[in-house]
Structure 1
Amino acid sequence: MLLAHRAMVRDLDRVERTARELAGAPDAVRAGALSRYVDKLGIVIHHHHEGEDEFFWPRLQDAGADREALEVLAAEHAELAEVLAAWRAAGARPVADAAAATQLADLSAAVRDHLSGHTADEERELLGRLAPSLDERLWKKFETHMARTAPLWTLRFMPAWLLSVANPDEQGGVPIPLLARLFSSRLERTQRAAFGDNY
Protein backbone atom coordinates (compact mmCIF):
# COMPACT_ATOMS: atom_id res chain seq x y z
CA MET A 1 0.00 0.00 0.00
CA LEU A 2 2.74 2.47 0.99
CA LEU A 3 4.79 1.64 -2.10
CA ALA A 4 1.79 2.02 -4.41
CA HIS A 5 1.00 5.42 -2.95
CA ARG A 6 4.61 6.54 -3.31
CA ALA A 7 4.83 5.34 -6.92
CA MET A 8 1.57 7.07 -7.89
CA VAL A 9 2.66 10.44 -6.50
CA ARG A 10 6.15 10.15 -8.00
CA ASP A 11 4.81 9.36 -11.46
CA LEU A 12 2.21 12.13 -11.37
CA ASP A 13 5.04 14.55 -10.61
CA ARG A 14 7.00 13.18 -13.57
CA VAL A 15 3.97 13.52 -15.86
CA GLU A 16 3.49 17.13 -14.81
CA ARG A 17 7.13 18.09 -15.41
CA THR A 18 7.23 16.29 -18.76
CA ALA A 19 3.99 17.88 -19.96
CA ARG A 20 5.32 21.35 -19.05
CA GLU A 21 8.43 20.65 -21.11
CA LEU A 22 6.30 19.50 -24.03
CA ALA A 23 4.33 22.75 -23.83
CA GLY A 24 7.52 24.65 -24.63
CA ALA A 25 9.23 22.09 -26.86
CA PRO A 26 6.80 19.74 -28.66
CA ASP A 27 8.05 16.21 -29.29
CA ALA A 28 5.61 13.85 -30.99
CA VAL A 29 7.48 10.69 -29.99
CA ARG A 30 7.73 11.69 -26.34
CA ALA A 31 4.10 12.88 -26.35
CA GLY A 32 2.96 9.47 -27.61
CA ALA A 33 5.00 7.62 -24.99
CA LEU A 34 3.71 9.93 -22.26
CA SER A 35 0.10 9.38 -23.34
CA ARG A 36 0.54 5.60 -23.19
CA TYR A 37 2.08 5.86 -19.74
CA VAL A 38 -0.72 8.12 -18.46
CA ASP A 39 -3.20 5.49 -19.64
CA LYS A 40 -1.41 2.76 -17.66
CA LEU A 41 -1.03 4.94 -14.57
CA GLY A 42 -4.69 5.96 -14.73
CA ILE A 43 -5.80 2.33 -14.87
CA VAL A 44 -3.57 1.44 -11.90
CA ILE A 45 -4.86 4.33 -9.76
CA HIS A 46 -8.49 3.59 -10.66
CA HIS A 47 -8.07 -0.11 -9.86
CA HIS A 48 -6.44 0.71 -6.53
CA HIS A 49 -9.31 2.96 -5.46
CA GLU A 50 -11.96 0.61 -6.81
CA GLY A 51 -10.45 -2.24 -4.80
CA GLU A 52 -10.58 -0.16 -1.64
CA ASP A 53 -14.12 1.10 -2.24
CA GLU A 54 -15.65 -2.20 -3.30
CA PHE A 55 -13.65 -4.69 -1.25
CA PHE A 56 -11.40 -3.28 1.46
CA TRP A 57 -13.59 -0.62 3.08
CA PRO A 58 -16.72 -2.86 3.21
CA ARG A 59 -14.75 -5.64 4.89
CA LEU A 60 -13.25 -3.22 7.36
CA GLN A 61 -16.75 -1.98 8.12
CA ASP A 62 -17.95 -5.56 8.64
CA ALA A 63 -15.03 -6.03 11.07
CA GLY A 64 -16.28 -3.08 13.13
CA ALA A 65 -13.83 -0.46 11.87
CA ASP A 66 -14.26 3.21 12.77
CA ARG A 67 -17.14 4.44 10.60
CA GLU A 68 -16.06 8.08 10.50
CA ALA A 69 -12.56 7.16 9.24
CA LEU A 70 -14.05 5.06 6.43
CA GLU A 71 -16.48 7.85 5.49
CA VAL A 72 -13.60 10.35 5.25
CA LEU A 73 -11.61 8.06 2.95
CA ALA A 74 -14.63 7.28 0.76
CA ALA A 75 -15.43 11.00 0.43
CA GLU A 76 -11.85 11.72 -0.61
CA HIS A 77 -12.10 9.02 -3.28
CA ALA A 78 -15.26 10.67 -4.62
CA GLU A 79 -13.50 14.04 -4.82
CA LEU A 80 -10.50 12.47 -6.52
CA ALA A 81 -12.64 10.66 -9.08
CA GLU A 82 -13.64 13.90 -10.82
CA VAL A 83 -10.14 15.29 -11.22
CA LEU A 84 -8.81 11.84 -12.16
CA ALA A 85 -11.40 11.53 -14.94
CA ALA A 86 -10.42 14.93 -16.35
CA TRP A 87 -6.72 14.05 -16.12
CA ARG A 88 -7.19 10.71 -17.90
CA ALA A 89 -9.20 12.40 -20.64
CA ALA A 90 -6.46 15.02 -21.11
CA GLY A 91 -3.81 12.32 -21.36
CA ALA A 92 -5.78 10.01 -23.64
CA ARG A 93 -4.27 11.54 -26.78
CA PRO A 94 -0.68 12.66 -27.27
CA VAL A 95 -0.44 16.37 -26.44
CA ALA A 96 -0.09 18.08 -29.81
CA ASP A 97 0.16 21.73 -28.82
CA ALA A 98 1.16 23.99 -25.93
CA ALA A 99 -2.40 24.44 -24.68
CA ALA A 100 -3.06 20.68 -24.46
CA ALA A 101 0.31 20.03 -22.81
CA THR A 102 -0.29 22.81 -20.27
CA GLN A 103 -3.74 21.41 -19.49
CA LEU A 104 -2.26 17.95 -18.87
CA ALA A 105 0.46 19.46 -16.67
CA ASP A 106 -2.06 21.45 -14.62
CA LEU A 107 -4.35 18.45 -14.18
CA SER A 108 -1.39 16.23 -13.25
CA ALA A 109 -0.43 18.71 -10.53
CA ALA A 110 -4.02 18.80 -9.26
CA VAL A 111 -4.27 14.98 -9.13
CA ARG A 112 -0.87 14.73 -7.46
CA ASP A 113 -1.79 17.27 -4.80
CA HIS A 114 -5.17 15.64 -4.12
CA LEU A 115 -3.62 12.19 -4.04
CA SER A 116 -0.76 13.27 -1.77
CA GLY A 117 -3.25 14.55 0.79
CA HIS A 118 -5.48 11.50 0.46
CA THR A 119 -2.68 8.95 0.78
CA ALA A 120 -1.36 10.73 3.88
CA ASP A 121 -4.86 10.57 5.41
CA GLU A 122 -5.28 6.93 4.41
CA GLU A 123 -1.95 5.85 5.84
CA ARG A 124 -2.66 7.72 9.08
CA GLU A 125 -6.09 6.11 9.44
CA LEU A 126 -4.80 2.62 8.62
CA LEU A 127 -2.21 2.98 11.35
CA GLY A 128 -4.65 4.73 13.69
CA ARG A 129 -8.43 4.43 13.90
CA LEU A 130 -8.66 1.52 11.43
CA ALA A 131 -5.77 -0.50 12.87
CA PRO A 132 -7.83 -2.41 15.49
CA SER A 133 -9.94 -3.95 12.69
CA LEU A 134 -6.99 -4.93 10.51
CA ASP A 135 -5.19 -8.23 10.67
CA GLU A 136 -2.91 -10.26 8.42
CA ARG A 137 -5.85 -12.28 7.08
CA LEU A 138 -7.69 -9.19 5.83
CA TRP A 139 -4.55 -7.74 4.24
CA LYS A 140 -4.00 -11.05 2.44
CA LYS A 141 -7.59 -11.15 1.20
CA PHE A 142 -7.24 -7.60 -0.12
CA GLU A 143 -3.97 -8.48 -1.85
CA THR A 144 -5.56 -11.56 -3.44
CA HIS A 145 -8.59 -9.56 -4.57
CA MET A 146 -6.38 -6.89 -6.17
CA ALA A 147 -4.30 -9.47 -8.02
CA ARG A 148 -7.39 -11.35 -9.22
CA THR A 149 -9.20 -8.26 -10.53
CA ALA A 150 -6.23 -6.46 -12.10
CA PRO A 151 -5.71 -6.39 -15.88
CA LEU A 152 -3.29 -9.10 -16.97
CA TRP A 153 -0.63 -6.65 -18.18
CA THR A 154 -0.21 -5.35 -14.62
CA LEU A 155 1.53 -8.63 -13.70
CA ARG A 156 4.48 -7.34 -15.72
CA PHE A 157 4.10 -3.75 -14.54
CA MET A 158 3.13 -3.65 -10.87
CA PRO A 159 5.90 -5.66 -9.18
CA ALA A 160 8.64 -3.75 -11.03
CA TRP A 161 6.82 -0.45 -10.45
CA LEU A 162 6.61 -1.08 -6.70
CA LEU A 163 10.23 -2.22 -6.56
CA SER A 164 11.29 1.01 -8.28
CA VAL A 165 10.24 3.06 -5.23
CA ALA A 166 11.15 0.57 -2.49
CA ASN A 167 13.99 1.29 -0.11
CA PRO A 168 16.27 -1.71 0.56
CA ASP A 169 14.45 -2.51 3.82
CA GLU A 170 11.05 -2.38 2.01
CA GLN A 171 11.86 -4.72 -0.87
CA GLY A 172 10.51 -7.71 1.04
CA GLY A 173 7.04 -6.19 0.69
CA VAL A 174 7.14 -6.23 -3.11
CA PRO A 175 4.88 -9.00 -4.49
CA ILE A 176 6.30 -11.58 -6.91
CA PRO A 177 9.92 -10.44 -6.52
CA LEU A 178 11.09 -12.61 -9.42
CA LEU A 179 8.78 -10.75 -11.83
CA ALA A 180 9.77 -7.44 -10.24
CA ARG A 181 13.41 -8.02 -11.12
CA LEU A 182 12.63 -9.60 -14.49
CA PHE A 183 10.60 -6.62 -15.73
CA SER A 184 12.51 -3.77 -14.04
CA SER A 185 14.56 -2.98 -17.17
CA ARG A 186 11.44 -2.97 -19.33
CA LEU A 187 9.71 -0.59 -16.93
CA GLU A 188 12.72 1.72 -16.90
CA ARG A 189 12.78 1.86 -20.72
CA THR A 190 9.06 2.66 -20.79
CA GLN A 191 9.44 5.40 -18.20
CA ARG A 192 12.51 6.92 -19.86
CA ALA A 193 10.66 7.02 -23.18
CA ALA A 194 7.74 8.83 -21.51
CA PHE A 195 9.63 11.15 -19.16
CA GLY A 196 13.00 11.73 -20.77
CA ASP A 197 15.13 13.88 -18.46
CA ASN A 198 12.33 13.83 -15.88
CA TYR A 199 12.88 10.11 -15.25
Structure 2
Amino acid sequence: MSDAPAPHPANLPAPNLLGFRITHRAMRADSRRLADATGEIAAGRQPCGPERAAAIKNYVVKLCQGIHHHHKAEDDHLWPLLVRSAGAEVDLSELSEDHSELDPLLAEIQSVAGDPAELAKPMRRLADLLDEHIAEEERQLFPVIMRHVTAKDWEELEKHVRKGGDPRFELPRIERHARPEELAELRRLAGPVLVVMLALLRPGHRRRERLVFGAV
Protein backbone atom coordinates (compact mmCIF):
# COMPACT_ATOMS: atom_id res chain seq x y z
CA MET A 1 0.00 0.00 0.00
CA SER A 2 1.47 3.37 -1.04
CA ASP A 3 2.24 6.10 1.52
CA ALA A 4 2.00 8.78 -1.17
CA PRO A 5 -0.57 11.53 -0.53
CA ALA A 6 -3.84 11.22 -2.40
CA PRO A 7 -4.40 13.62 -5.30
CA HIS A 8 -6.59 16.64 -4.72
CA PRO A 9 -10.21 15.35 -4.85
CA ALA A 10 -11.88 16.42 -8.08
CA ASN A 11 -15.16 17.29 -6.31
CA LEU A 12 -13.52 19.85 -3.96
CA PRO A 13 -12.78 23.46 -4.92
CA ALA A 14 -9.22 23.98 -6.17
CA PRO A 15 -7.00 26.60 -4.50
CA ASN A 16 -7.03 30.07 -6.02
CA LEU A 17 -3.42 31.08 -6.71
CA LEU A 18 -4.27 34.55 -8.01
CA GLY A 19 -2.94 36.41 -4.95
CA PHE A 20 0.39 34.61 -5.10
CA ARG A 21 0.73 35.18 -8.85
CA ILE A 22 0.18 38.93 -8.54
CA THR A 23 2.43 39.23 -5.48
CA HIS A 24 5.21 37.40 -7.33
CA ARG A 25 4.72 39.62 -10.37
CA ALA A 26 4.85 42.78 -8.23
CA MET A 27 8.06 41.70 -6.50
CA ARG A 28 9.75 40.93 -9.80
CA ALA A 29 8.56 44.07 -11.55
CA ASP A 30 9.40 46.49 -8.74
CA SER A 31 12.83 44.95 -8.15
CA ARG A 32 13.59 45.30 -11.86
CA ARG A 33 12.24 48.86 -12.00
CA LEU A 34 14.38 49.84 -9.02
CA ALA A 35 17.42 48.17 -10.54
CA ASP A 36 16.89 50.12 -13.76
CA ALA A 37 16.24 53.44 -12.00
CA THR A 38 19.24 53.19 -9.68
CA GLY A 39 21.39 52.03 -12.61
CA GLU A 40 20.45 55.21 -14.49
CA ILE A 41 21.28 57.29 -11.42
CA ALA A 42 24.62 55.52 -10.92
CA ALA A 43 25.50 56.15 -14.58
CA GLY A 44 24.66 59.86 -14.24
CA ARG A 45 21.81 59.67 -16.74
CA GLN A 46 19.11 60.62 -14.23
CA PRO A 47 19.17 63.26 -11.48
CA CYS A 48 18.58 62.29 -7.86
CA GLY A 49 18.09 65.04 -5.35
CA PRO A 50 17.46 64.54 -1.62
CA GLU A 51 13.67 64.13 -2.00
CA ARG A 52 14.01 61.40 -4.62
CA ALA A 53 16.81 59.67 -2.68
CA ALA A 54 14.62 59.59 0.45
CA ALA A 55 11.68 58.21 -1.54
CA ILE A 56 13.87 55.50 -3.11
CA LYS A 57 15.21 54.51 0.31
CA ASN A 58 11.71 54.24 1.76
CA TYR A 59 10.44 52.22 -1.21
CA VAL A 60 13.45 49.88 -1.19
CA VAL A 61 13.21 49.19 2.55
CA LYS A 62 9.48 48.42 2.32
CA LEU A 63 10.03 46.20 -0.72
CA CYS A 64 12.79 44.26 1.03
CA GLN A 65 10.62 43.83 4.12
CA GLY A 66 7.77 42.54 1.94
CA ILE A 67 10.01 40.08 0.10
CA HIS A 68 11.45 38.78 3.38
CA HIS A 69 7.97 38.40 4.87
CA HIS A 70 6.75 36.49 1.82
CA HIS A 71 9.62 34.02 1.62
CA LYS A 72 9.60 33.50 5.42
CA ALA A 73 5.89 32.64 5.20
CA GLU A 74 6.72 30.17 2.43
CA ASP A 75 9.46 28.60 4.56
CA ASP A 76 7.30 28.40 7.69
CA HIS A 77 3.91 27.54 6.19
CA LEU A 78 3.94 26.70 2.46
CA TRP A 79 6.86 24.27 2.53
CA PRO A 80 5.38 22.19 5.44
CA LEU A 81 1.96 22.25 3.74
CA LEU A 82 3.48 20.89 0.52
CA VAL A 83 5.45 18.19 2.32
CA ARG A 84 2.30 17.17 4.18
CA SER A 85 0.09 17.27 1.09
CA ALA A 86 2.38 16.08 -1.71
CA GLY A 87 5.18 14.19 0.04
CA ALA A 88 7.90 12.87 -2.26
CA GLU A 89 6.33 14.51 -5.29
CA VAL A 90 7.89 17.85 -4.33
CA ASP A 91 11.61 18.64 -3.96
CA LEU A 92 12.15 21.93 -2.14
CA SER A 93 15.94 21.80 -1.82
CA GLU A 94 16.89 24.21 -4.63
CA LEU A 95 14.10 26.65 -3.82
CA SER A 96 15.17 26.62 -0.16
CA GLU A 97 18.75 27.37 -1.22
CA ASP A 98 17.48 30.39 -3.14
CA HIS A 99 15.70 31.58 0.00
CA SER A 100 18.93 31.26 1.97
CA GLU A 101 20.60 33.60 -0.56
CA LEU A 102 17.85 36.18 -0.26
CA ASP A 103 18.30 37.34 3.34
CA PRO A 104 21.98 38.39 3.05
CA LEU A 105 21.21 40.16 -0.23
CA LEU A 106 18.18 41.93 1.26
CA ALA A 107 20.33 43.01 4.23
CA GLU A 108 23.02 44.33 1.87
CA ILE A 109 20.45 46.31 -0.09
CA GLN A 110 18.94 47.86 3.02
CA SER A 111 22.39 48.79 4.31
CA VAL A 112 22.99 51.01 1.26
CA ALA A 113 19.38 52.07 0.70
CA GLY A 114 20.24 55.69 1.43
CA ASP A 115 22.62 55.88 -1.56
CA PRO A 116 20.75 55.20 -4.83
CA ALA A 117 23.97 54.88 -6.83
CA GLU A 118 25.25 52.17 -4.45
CA LEU A 119 21.94 50.35 -4.78
CA ALA A 120 22.28 49.69 -8.49
CA LYS A 121 24.40 46.51 -8.41
CA PRO A 122 22.73 44.69 -5.49
CA MET A 123 19.28 45.64 -6.81
CA ARG A 124 20.15 44.09 -10.16
CA ARG A 125 21.32 40.92 -8.41
CA LEU A 126 18.03 40.82 -6.53
CA ALA A 127 15.98 41.34 -9.69
CA ASP A 128 17.88 38.55 -11.46
CA LEU A 129 17.54 36.18 -8.51
CA LEU A 130 13.80 36.83 -8.16
CA ASP A 131 13.21 36.37 -11.88
CA GLU A 132 14.87 32.97 -11.84
CA HIS A 133 13.56 31.83 -8.46
CA ILE A 134 9.93 32.83 -8.93
CA ALA A 135 9.72 31.41 -12.45
CA GLU A 136 11.09 28.09 -11.17
CA GLU A 137 8.90 28.13 -8.06
CA GLU A 138 5.74 28.64 -10.12
CA ARG A 139 6.81 26.04 -12.68
CA GLN A 140 7.55 23.40 -10.05
CA LEU A 141 5.08 24.09 -7.28
CA PHE A 142 1.91 25.55 -8.75
CA PRO A 143 0.92 22.28 -10.51
CA VAL A 144 1.63 20.35 -7.29
CA ILE A 145 -0.50 22.79 -5.30
CA MET A 146 -3.37 22.44 -7.76
CA ARG A 147 -3.17 18.62 -7.56
CA HIS A 148 -2.78 18.16 -3.82
CA VAL A 149 -3.70 21.23 -1.75
CA THR A 150 -7.32 21.93 -0.82
CA ALA A 151 -8.87 25.36 -1.15
CA LYS A 152 -9.40 25.42 2.63
CA ASP A 153 -5.73 24.73 3.38
CA TRP A 154 -4.69 27.33 0.81
CA GLU A 155 -6.94 29.97 2.40
CA GLU A 156 -5.34 29.25 5.77
CA LEU A 157 -1.90 29.64 4.21
CA GLU A 158 -2.86 32.98 2.68
CA LYS A 159 -4.03 34.21 6.09
CA HIS A 160 -0.54 33.48 7.46
CA VAL A 161 1.07 35.26 4.50
CA ARG A 162 -1.08 38.37 5.03
CA LYS A 163 -0.21 38.58 8.74
CA GLY A 164 2.62 41.02 9.32
CA GLY A 165 2.43 42.51 5.84
CA ASP A 166 1.98 46.24 5.21
CA PRO A 167 -1.29 46.69 3.29
CA ARG A 168 -0.59 50.40 2.78
CA PHE A 169 2.37 49.42 0.62
CA GLU A 170 1.24 46.06 -0.72
CA LEU A 171 -2.35 46.72 -1.81
CA PRO A 172 -1.67 49.59 -4.25
CA ARG A 173 1.20 47.60 -5.77
CA ILE A 174 -1.12 44.63 -6.28
CA GLU A 175 -3.55 46.96 -8.03
CA ARG A 176 -0.76 48.31 -10.23
CA HIS A 177 0.55 44.92 -11.31
CA ALA A 178 -2.75 43.02 -11.63
CA ARG A 179 -4.23 42.60 -15.08
CA PRO A 180 -7.74 44.08 -15.54
CA GLU A 181 -9.46 40.70 -15.36
CA GLU A 182 -7.42 39.77 -12.26
CA LEU A 183 -8.29 43.04 -10.55
CA ALA A 184 -11.96 42.46 -11.33
CA GLU A 185 -11.72 39.01 -9.72
CA LEU A 186 -9.98 40.41 -6.64
CA ARG A 187 -12.69 43.03 -6.24
CA ARG A 188 -15.35 40.36 -6.63
CA LEU A 189 -13.69 38.18 -3.99
CA ALA A 190 -12.86 40.92 -1.49
CA GLY A 191 -15.97 43.06 -1.92
CA PRO A 192 -16.38 46.80 -1.31
CA VAL A 193 -13.75 46.94 1.44
CA LEU A 194 -10.98 46.47 -1.15
CA VAL A 195 -12.46 49.16 -3.38
CA VAL A 196 -12.53 51.64 -0.49
CA MET A 197 -9.02 50.80 0.69
CA LEU A 198 -7.57 51.15 -2.81
CA ALA A 199 -9.30 54.50 -3.26
CA LEU A 200 -7.71 55.72 -0.02
CA LEU A 201 -4.24 54.32 -0.68
CA ARG A 202 -3.93 54.95 -4.42
CA PRO A 203 -3.08 58.70 -4.40
CA GLY A 204 -0.23 58.34 -1.91
CA HIS A 205 1.24 55.39 -3.75
CA ARG A 206 1.14 57.21 -7.07
CA ARG A 207 2.99 60.16 -5.52
CA ARG A 208 5.66 57.75 -4.23
CA GLU A 209 5.98 56.14 -7.64
CA ARG A 210 6.42 59.51 -9.36
CA LEU A 211 9.19 60.41 -6.94
CA VAL A 212 10.97 57.06 -7.24
CA PHE A 213 10.48 56.20 -10.92
CA GLY A 214 9.45 59.46 -12.57
CA ALA A 215 6.38 59.47 -14.82
CA VAL A 216 4.52 56.13 -14.54
Q: Of 175, 186, 197, which aligns to 1:173?
A: 186
Number of aligned residues? 188
Separation of aligned partners in 2, 1:124 and 1:181 = 34
CA deviations 1:131-177 (Å, max 9, x no partner) are 33222112201111122233xxx122222211111111111236552
1:54 corresponds to 2:72: no
CA displacement at 1:39 relative to structure 2: 0.7
Q: Of 101, 112, 123, which aligns to 2:127?
A: 112
- Residues 182 and 161 (structure 1 numbering): CA distance in 2 closer, same or farther, change over 3 Å? same
- Give ranges in structure 2 of 5+ residues lacking alignment: 1-19
Separation of aligned partners in 1, 2:51 and 2:137 = 37
Identity of aligned residues (%): 30
Partner AA of 1:170 in structure 2 = E
SS at match of 2:61: helix
The aligned residue for residue 136 of structure 1 is 151
Q: Give the conservation status (yes or no) of the 8 Å contact 2:28–2:130.
A: yes
- Give ranges in structure 1 of 5+ residues lacking alignment: none
The aligned residue for residue 187 of structure 1 is 205
The aligned residue for residue 20 of structure 1 is 39
Q: Give the conservation status (yes or no) of the 8 Å contact 1:161–1:180.
A: no
CA deviations 1:61-119 (Å, max 9, x no partner) are 1223446532222121112223222122221x2x1xxxx60x31111111000000000
- TM (norm. structure 2) is 0.79
Q: Give the conservation status (yes or no) of the 8 Å contact 1:19–1:105.
A: yes
SS at match of 1:73: helix
Where in structure 2 are the equivalents of 1:81-160 lying within 5 Å? 81-91=103-113, 93=114, 95=115, 101=117, 103-150=118-165, 154-160=166-172
CA RMSD of aligned residues (A): 2.0
The aligned residue for residue 3 of structure 1 is 22
Larger Rg: 2
